[in-house]
Homo-oligomer: A and B are copies of this chain.
C-alpha cells in the first residue's frame, strides 16, 4: 500500500533572534567544540499519509504547513515529500 511521508522543517527566519540556538551555541563551546559560529534551532514534523499524495492534498498540506505548523510572521518552513512504500515499516 502506498504511504507518503512528508517532512516539514520549521525554522525561525534569519532576521529573527534565536535565543535557544544562542544558548546551544554557548554550551557547545563550553563543552569543548570550538569554532561554532551559529546555531539555529527549529522544529521538524514527520507526517505519514495513507494513500497517494495527489495535487489537492499536497496543496492542502502546503497551506497547513504555512498556517498551522509554522508562524508565517517569524518562521520559514520547508516541505520535503518522501514517497515510500515501506514508510510504515
Interface residues of A (CB under 8 A from B): 3, 9, 11, 21, 24-25, 27-28, 31-51, 57, 60-61, 64, 68-69, 88
Are the C-beta atoms of A33 and B45 separated by less than 8 Å? Answer: no
Copy number of this protein in the oligomer? Answer: 2
Residues of B within 8 A of A43 (CB): 41-44
Q: Which of B27, B42, B51, B68 contacts A68 (CB 8 A)?
A: B27
Closest to A5 in B: B38
Are the C-beta atoms of B35 and A50 separated by less than 8 Å? Answer: yes
Q: Which of B35, B42, B48, B69 contacts A51 (CB 8 A)?
A: B35
Contact flag A39-B48 (CB < 8 Å), given A31-B64, A31-B68? yes
Residues of B within 8 A of A27 (CB): 68
A-B contact pairs, 17 of them (CB 8 A): A11-B46, A21-B45, A24-B68, A28-B68, A33-B49, A34-B57, A35-B49, A36-B47, A36-B48, A36-B50, A37-B88, A38-B46, A38-B47, A39-B45, A39-B47, A41-B45, A42-B44
